[in-house]
Each structure stands twice: as structure tokens, then as C-alpha cells.
């Protein structure tokens, strides 16, 4: 259905997509690329990919679809490395968590945003990394957002939409800037908060003995602080303006709560929490 696929970055997301497409019998051959041969050999032995190359240009040479699934900071050099090796008919796509930066990187690496490059972001993941953590069901029932530009080839967009549907996802399209603002609030900010809650506990007790008493609430709020720091550094820097706006909004909310507690203003506390609870309850019912 999708021919030869090259997955550049056979980690959690790239590996899970490869598994989903293979499970559906939707591709001929999957070629992987990464920097560490041991990981790529493991991906072959797990049946995630058929073969691998340590040179990204070699990995894409016969591809019908190329999926960039590396951290955002690695996208531009990787695009530059494959540019001259891409078959003319190949469709390029990515899975990066911020979209404007990927479009800017592609424009810089290729000299213009290629018509057959379909920027994409699967809103699915875990706090784990690497091919060991990948699983075919990761995208089932989850949203994938495509952010094509006006001149993006519609046939390429429909092909990538079909690829994600085969992986079980619900596919939407939107403007890249809108995507980046929404995901800053709903994904990038929660990660800022999770890492900061852990560090706040360590600030209060540098011996970290306090973590022995971490209950369900601490574990729920901080689960994603086990995510890869390099990946999150790249996401925050790639989506800097929107992330900083979200952090500012969070600080405003924190200060309002801090002020209400300082003032023993129980009415204000209940009003603030009730507003959040109503929205969070709706989310739970929608899930
Ligand atoms: P991951 O499990 O760490 O996989 C990243 C892969 O990229 C690995 O195979 C790694 O292999 C390779 N890689 C890392 N740095 C590289 C570099 N500098 N040059 C070339 N290859 C490199 O990460 P992931 O969670 O799959 O994330 C991949 C992408 O998906 C990121 O852009 C992220 O924003 C996006 N995303 C993540 C999630 C999530 O929840 N995790 C959700 C949606 C989207 P080697 O180290 O062997 O090179």
C-alpha cells in the first residue's frame, strides 16, 4: 500500500509507526536509520525494521515515504544529509512535536519547503524512549495533526493521512502556528510543570528522602518527568514563544492561588479550583 518506507530514528515513535504498518501489512520494506548500530540491530531482531543503514542518504535511496522521527534539534542536519539522495517521487513527513520549526528547518535545508513534505505530529507517546519502548498500538484512537502548507501536494497529504489511519489514528489538519500554540498549552507546559514539581521537592529536601513519601498525586503529576531531557530541551527551544506564553499563563495562575492561600481566602481558592475541576471533569468524560 505504501511501498518502501524509510524511518529515520527508530525510537518510540518511529518504531511504533513501523510496527503498526508492518502489522497491517501496509508496506513492502522498512529501512531504518540511527546513529547506534546496536539499537538498529535490535530493531531488526525485534522485527520492527527489515534492514538499516548508518548513512541516512543510503537509508532513503529507495524510499517511497521517508519519516523523520528524530528529536527536533536533529531534523535540519538530517534533512540536509538526505536532500540529494531522495528519490523524486518520495514523500517526506515527520513526527516532530512542534511544527513551525520543522517547516523552517525544511525550508532552510532544501532551499524551499518541498511540495511533497507533509509535516505531521502524532499526539501519542509515553515517557519511555527507544525501540524497546515501541508498540504497534501506540496510535490507536489517538489524534495525528497534519500541518500542510498551501502549496503542499494534496496527493502526498492524502497518502500520509492514509498511513496514519492504517496505524489506527484519527487525522486532522490545521495551521502549524495554531498547532504550536495549542500543544504548548496541552503538552509542552505540562512537561515544564512535571520536571519543576520534582525539582521543587528536591529543593525542599536535597537528600531526596522526601520522594519515599511520593503518593499517587505526585506520581500522576510527575510521570512525564521521566521523559528524555534532550527531546524536551529541543521541543521547548523549537517552540520557544508559545512555550513561554504558556509558562507565563501558568505563573499567573500559580500567583493567584498563592495569593489566595496567603490571604486565607477560602472562597477564592474554591472558585479557582472549581473552574479547573469542571474543565478537567469534562475531559475525563470525553476520553
Ligand atoms: P526516541 O525514542 O529517543 O527516538 C529517537 C530516535 O532518533 C532514536 O532512534 C535515536 O537513535 C535517533 N536520534 C536521536 N538523536 C539523533 C541525532 N542527533 N541524529 C540522528 N538520529 C538521532 O524519541 P521519540 O520519543 O521517538 O521522539 C522522536 C520524535 O517524535 C521527536 O521529534 C519528538 O518530538 C516526537 N514525538 C515524541 C513523542 C513522545 O511522547 N515521545 C510524541 C509525539 C512526537 P540513535 O540515538 O541511535 O541515533
SS3 content of the chain, % helix, strand, coil (to 5): 60, 10, 30
Q: Is the CB of 190 under 6 A from ligand 1?
A: no
Those residues with Cβ within 8 angstroms of residue 62's Cβ, 6 or more apart along the chain or in another chain: 4, 31, 87
Residue 284 exposure: Cα atoms within 13 Å on the Cβ side: 6
Cα gap 29→64, rounded to integer Å: 10
Cα gap 141→165, rounded to integer Å: 9
If pLDDT is split at 50, 70 and 90, which confidence band does 51 have? very high
The grid coordinates of residue 147 equal 500541518
Digit-coded pLDDT (tens) for 87-101: 999 999 999 999 999
Answer for the pair 118, 144: CB distance below 8 angstroms, yes or no: no
Answer for the pair 51, 29: CB distance below 8 angstroms, yes or no: yes
Closest approach atom of ligand 1 to CA 15: 26
Please provide the average confidence, as pLDDT, over all residues in the chain: 97
3-state secondary structure of 7: strand
Q: At what angle do helices 189-204 and 240-262 cross, to 10 degrees?
A: 50
Å from CA of 133 to ligand 1 middle: 12
The pLDDT of residue 133 is above 80:
yes
pLDDT in the model for residue 184 = 98
Q: Is the CB of 231 under 6 A from ligand 1?
A: yes
Q: Is the CB of 125 under 6 A from ligand 1?
A: yes
Give kind and range of the element (H or E) at residue 183: helix 176-183
pLDDT in the model for residue 286 = 83
What's the burial of 180, exposed, middle or buried (CB within 10 Å: 0-12/13-18/19+)? buried
Å from CA of 212 to ligand 1 middle: 31
Report the nearest-CA residue for atom 38 of ligand 1.
125
Å from CA of 278 to ligand 1 middle: 35
Substitution site in 71, 127, 187, 234 for ligand 1 pocket (most atoms within 8 Å of beta carbon):
71
If pLDDT is split at 50, 70 and 90, which confidence band does 68 have? very high
If pLDDT is split at 50, 70 and 90, which confidence band does 29 have? very high
Those residues with Cβ within 8 angstroms of residue 30's Cβ, 6 or more apart along the chain or in another chain: 4, 5, 6, 7, 18, 21, 22, 48, 49, 50
Cα gap 55→279, rounded to integer Å: 48
Q: Is the CB of 11 under 6 A from ligand 1?
A: yes
Bridge partners for 52 per DSSP: 32
The pLDDT of residue 33 is above 80:
yes
Bridge partners for 32 per DSSP: 7, 52
The pLDDT of residue 253 is above 90:
yes
Å from CA of 188 to ligand 1 middle: 16
pTM score, whole prediction: 0.96
Å from CA of 228 to ligand 1 middle: 9
Q: Is the CB of 56 under 6 A from ligand 1?
A: no
Å from CA of 230 to ligand 1 middle: 9
Percent of all residues in the chain with a pLDDT value above 90, rounded to a whole number: 97
The pLDDT of residue 111 is above 80:
yes
Lowest mean pLDDT among 23-32, 110-119, 153-162, 278-287: 278-287
Closest approach atom of ligand 1 to CA 77: 19
The pLDDT of residue 287 is above 90:
no
The pLDDT of residue 139 is above 80:
yes
Digit-coded pLDDT (tens) for 239-252: 999 999 999 999 99
Answer for the pair 58, 79: CB distance below 8 angstroms, yes or no: no
Digit-coded pLDDT (tens) for 202-249: 999 989 898 999 999 999 999 999 999 999 999 999 999 999 999 999
CA dihedral (261, 263, 264, 266) in degrees, to 10, reads -80
Closest approach atom of ligand 1 to CA 72: 32
Amino acid at each position: 500500500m505504501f511501498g518502501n518506507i524509510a524511518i529515520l530514528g527508530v525510537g518510540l515513535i518511529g518504531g511504533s509507526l513501523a510496527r503498526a504498518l508492518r502489522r497491517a501489512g501496509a508496506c513492502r520494506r522498512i529501512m531504518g536509520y540511527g546513529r547506534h548500530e546496536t539499537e538498529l540491530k535490535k530493531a531488526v531482531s525485534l522485527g520492527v525494521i527489515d534492514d538499516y543503514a548508518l548513512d541516512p542518504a543510503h537509508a532513503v535511496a529507495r524510499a517511497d515515504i521517508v519519516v523523520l522521527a528524530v528529536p527536533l534539534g536533529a531534523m535540519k542536519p538530517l534533512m540536509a544529509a538526505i536532500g540529494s539522495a531522495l528519490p523524486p517521487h518520495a514523500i517526506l513527513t515527520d513526527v516532530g512535536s512542534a511544527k513551525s520549526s520543522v517547516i523552517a528547518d525544511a525550508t532552510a535545508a532544501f532551499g524551499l519547503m518541498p511540495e511533497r513534505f507533509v509535516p505531521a505530529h502524532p499526539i501519542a507517546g509515553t515517557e519511555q524512549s527507544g525501540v524497546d519502548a515501541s508498540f504497534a498500538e501506540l496510535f490507536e484512537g489517538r489524534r495525528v495533526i497534519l500541518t500542510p502548507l498551501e502549496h503542499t501536494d494534496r496527493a502526498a497529504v492524502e497518502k500520509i493521512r492514509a498511513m496514519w489511519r492504517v496505524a489506527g489514528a484519527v487525522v486532522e489538519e490545521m495551521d502549524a502556528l495554531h498547532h504550536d500554540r495549542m500543544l504548548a498549552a496541552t503538552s509542552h507546559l505540562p512537561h515544564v510543570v512535571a520536571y519543576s514539581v520534582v525539582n521543587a521537592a528536591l529543593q525542599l529536601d536535597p537528600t531526596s528522602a522526601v520522594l519515599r513519601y511520593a503518593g499517587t498525586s505526585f506520581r500522576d503529576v510527575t510521570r512525564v518527568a521521566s521523559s528524555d531531557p534532550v527531546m524536551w530541551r529541543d521541543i521547548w527551544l523549537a517552540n520557544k514563544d508559545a512555550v513561554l506564553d504558556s509558562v507565563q499563563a501558568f505563573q499567573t495562575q500559580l500567583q493567584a492561588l498563592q495569593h489566595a492561600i496567603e490571604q486565607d481566602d477560602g472562597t477564592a481558592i474554591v472558585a479557582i479550583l472549581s473552574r479547573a475541576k469542571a474543565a478537567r471533569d469534562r475531559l475525563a468524560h470525553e476520553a
